[in-house]
């Protein structure tokens, strides 16, 4: 029963994250006005705003103008619910759980914004840095968080500078650099190395697959933030087991 409650809580939070994903890049308030259809601008009634269920009942279309509702909305809600249950199952119910949940929620928002707009808002990346340092203070490991933040930022900044020198163009966005700094504040130096390696590996495999499928070109833009976030989640849930399997723990 408790897992069902946590799952439902995650669905509700996921609905709010959808608001953040849509409004933050546009510079709009995430609190006011209430949700409305982006096509016809009609206000969405509460019974049409129930996570996942309303999407199914409406057949994935607006009640008024019948425009199609992106599948991203229920996907974010379900993803958030699953991750919320995972964090609760791994860390239980204490102050650490709250920080890890906020960490995951901010990664979700940053990833989906990056997918659509190729940017990572400062309120996400810088927010993660501040949140990570606060977490480090309350968890009595402030230096762990500080070193992780500085190392993550500096490492990707070095990669960006080196890439620009070698390829004569921007190799890494500033948002990605700040994002890895924020991630580092939660996972530390060892976690930063793990995240950078696995995000690069996953991003390369996906990029190759997209090129083969002719969905992008060799020089096409591929947002890196989602891969950093995905690798960070892998480390959060399975990092120690993977490192132990590889003989690094």
Residue 236 in this model has a pLDDT that exceeds 90: yes
Q: Is residue 81 domain-shared with residue 123, that is, in the same domain?
A: no
The sign of the dihedral angle between the CA atoms of 51, 52, 58, 62 is: positive
* Range with top average pLDDT, 39-43, 74-78, 161-165: 74-78
Residues of the domain holding 5:
1-93
Instruction: Let me know whether 122 and 7 are in one domain.
Output: no
Q: Are residues 25 and 126 in the same domain?
A: no
User: Do 80 and 104 have their domain in common?
Assistant: no
Same domain, 153 and 36: no
End residue of a domain, out of 50, 75, 93: 93
Instruction: Tell me the average pLDDT across 179-189.
Output: 98
Residue 247 pLDDT grade (very low, low, confident, very high; cuts 50, 70, 90): confident
Same domain, residue pair 105 and 81: no
CA 89 to chain centre: 20
Phi, psi for 61 (deg, rounded to 5):
-135, 155
Cβ atoms < 10 Å from Cβ of 55: 20
Find the mean pLDDT for residues 50-72: 95
Same domain flag for 107 and 135: yes
Are 171 and 142 in a shared domain?
yes
Confidence of residue 217 (pLDDT cuts 50, 70, 90): low
Question: Where is the domain boundary, 66, 93, 120?
Answer: 93
How many domains does the chain contain in total? Answer: 2
Q: Do residues 75 and 116 share a domain?
A: no
Least confident of 5-9, 50-54, 129-133, 217-221: 217-221
pLDDT value for 68: 95
247 shares a domain with 129? yes
**CATH code of the domain in which 157 resides:** 1.20.120
pLDDT at 218 over 60: no
Report the pLDDT value the prediction gives residue 71, as an integer from 0 to 100: 96
Same domain, 51 and 105: no
Answer whether 0.75 is exceeded by the pTM.
yes
Q: Which of 64, 93, 122 is the last residue of a domain?
A: 93
pLDDT in tens, 162-183: 888 887 777 678 899 999 999 9
Q: How confident is the model at residue 220 (pLDDT cuts 50, 70, 90)?
A: low
Q: Across the strands, what pairs with 68?
A: 61
Q: Identify the burial level of 192 via C-beta atoms within 10 angstroms of its C-beta, where 0-12 means exposed, 13-18 middle and 19 or more buried.
A: buried
Provide the pLDDT confidence category of residue 33 given band limits of 50, 70 and 90.
confident
Cα gap 130→122, rounded to integer Å: 11
- Say whether both 85 and 170 belong to one domain: no
């Amino acid at each position: 029963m408790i897992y069902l409650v946590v799952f439902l809580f995650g669905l509700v939070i996921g609905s709010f994250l959808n608001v953040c994903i849509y409004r933050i890049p546009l510079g709009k308030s995430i609190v006011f006005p209430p949700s409305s259809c982006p096509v016809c601008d009609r206000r969405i009634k509460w019974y049409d705003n129930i996570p996942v269920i309303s999407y199914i009942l409406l057949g994935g279309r607006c009640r008024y103008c019948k425009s199609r509702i992106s599948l991203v909305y229920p996907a974010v809600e379900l993803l958030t619910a699953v991750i919320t249950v995972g964090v609760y199952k791994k860390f239980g119910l204490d102050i650490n759980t709250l920080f890890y949940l906020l960490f995951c929620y901010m990664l979700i928002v940053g990833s989906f914004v990056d997918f659509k707009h190729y940017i990572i808002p400062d309120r996400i990346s810088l927010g993660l840095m501040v949140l990570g340092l606060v977490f480090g203070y309350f968890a009595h490991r402030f230096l762990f968080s500080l070193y992780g933040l500085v190392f993550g930022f500096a490492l990707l900044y070095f990669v960006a500078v080196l890439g620009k020198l070698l390829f004569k163009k921007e190799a890494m966005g500033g948002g990605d650099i700040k994002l890895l700094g924020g991630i580092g504040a939660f996972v530390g130096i060892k976690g930063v190395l793990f995240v950078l390696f696995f995000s690069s590996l996953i991003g390369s495999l996906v990029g190759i697959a997209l090129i083969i499928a002719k969905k992008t070109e060799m020089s096409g833009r591929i947002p890196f933030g989602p891969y950093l976030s995905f690798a960070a989640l892998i480390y959060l849930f399975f990092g120690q087991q993977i490192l132990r399997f590889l003989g690094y723990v």
